[in-house]
Structure 1
Amino acid sequence: MNDDLATITLEANGALIDYLGETAEIAMGPPYTVERVRGVAAERWPAAVGLISQSACARGDTLLADDDPVSDGETIVLVPPVSGG
């Protein structure tokens, strides 16, 4: 295994559960950012690329920006947009 790879657990919500399941793991190289998490997830689940790109990302209850760093072993929550009426 490559020592430069970080393992990130994704916690899916809403419609993303249909693609990723409730949780999924990805391994990614640098840069270790939220934007890279989205990119790796989109490559792994191409059918969900639209939802992934529109989803908010959070660490616990804290929303993250695309340039926020992520660390090996972290859980990132993916929160897709919600529509209703």
Structure 2
Amino acid sequence: MNDDLANITLEANGALIDHLGETAEIAMGPPYTVERVRGVAAERWPAAVGLISQSACARGDALLADDDEVTDGETIVLVPPVSGG
């Protein structure tokens, strides 16, 4: 295994569960940012690229910006947009 890879758990919500399941694992190299998490997820699940690109990302209850750093072993929550009615 490459020591430069960070293993990240993705916790999906809403329509993303249909693509990723409730949780999924990705391994990614630098840069270790939320933007990179989105990019790796979009490559792995191309049918969900639209949802992934529009989803909010969170660590626990805190929303993350694309340039926020992620660390090995961390769980990132993906929250896709929802429409109201």
Q: TM-score, normalised by structure 2?
A: 0.99
Alpha-carbon RMSD: 0.3
Q: CA separation in 2, counterparts of 1:84 and 1:74?
A: 31
Q: CA separation in 1, counterparts of 2:32 and 2:52?
A: 17
| CA offset digits 1:15-63 (Å, max 9, x no partner) | 0000000000000000000000000000000000000000000000000
Measure how far apart 1:84 and its partner are. 2.2
Q: CA separation in 1, counterparts of 2:71 and 2:37?
A: 11
Unaligned stretches of 5+ in structure 2? none
Q: CA separation in 2, counterparts of 1:33 and 1:40?
A: 11
Unaligned stretches of 5+ in structure 1? none
Q: TM-score, normalised by structure 1?
A: 0.99
Q: CA separation in 1, counterparts of 2:8 and 2:73?
A: 5
Q: CA separation in 1, counterparts of 2:47 and 2:6?
A: 24
Aligned length: 85
Percent of residue pairs bearing the same amino acid type? 94
